[in-house]
Structure 1
Amino acid sequence: MVLASVFSTFSDALSFIVEPQDSRGGPGLKVGGLGELGDLAGNHFLICAVALALAIALAMPLALWLGHLGRAEFLAVSTANVGRAVPALAIIAFCVAFLGTG
């Protein structure tokens, strides 16, 4: 039963990407479809590039400074490990909430 619900949701998402849908914003407005896929992908890549540039601009000077000092190694490694673990924990929490536990 749960598996059918997941596949139904996936099918709806795939249908939204391929076929334009009526918008809730007003009559006659269409959203989604292959026509918007290129624009949305371009916006996504732009947002990712800006986020990556900001992360590099913040992390590189801090990493060079901490590496030069030779201190706070434990703090830097611990922070990086937490940053690696949080997305996986968020996905697990989302799956438990979406699919249920039993």
Structure 2
Amino acid sequence: MNDVVDQIRERIEAGRFRLSDHAQGRLNERSILLSDILASIPTWTVVETYTTGRMGPSFLARHILPAGTIHAVWGMINDTAVHAVLVTVYLPDKDKWDEHSTSRRKA
């Protein structure tokens, strides 16, 4: 899965990414700036990886922004896709995530 993370990072850094309609809506709702997310990519933490999904192989990343921590799901239809996709963004629920937003709390 590290290959997918690297491939997605390379696409983002080359400007070859797009936002899903869902992600755009979440950014607008939460007043999160895409530029802040992009600026935090060098220090993101990959929290979970997914081998399949609507957007293909994807992963959940923790981004530290000036306004606080968010989670973002980044994906790619397949390894030959031209663009990476920002699938969604959300604020980690403190009841569901540890204090660093990197591990799910046990139910």
TM-score bracket for the superposition, by shorter chain length:
under 0.3
Higher strand proportion, which one?
Answer: 2
Q: TM-score by structure 1 length?
A: 0.24
Larger proportion of helix: 1
Normalised TM-score (structure 2):
0.24
- Higher relative contact order (Cα pairs below 8 Å, separated by 6+ residues): 2
Q: Decide which structure has the larger Cα Rg and report it.
A: 1
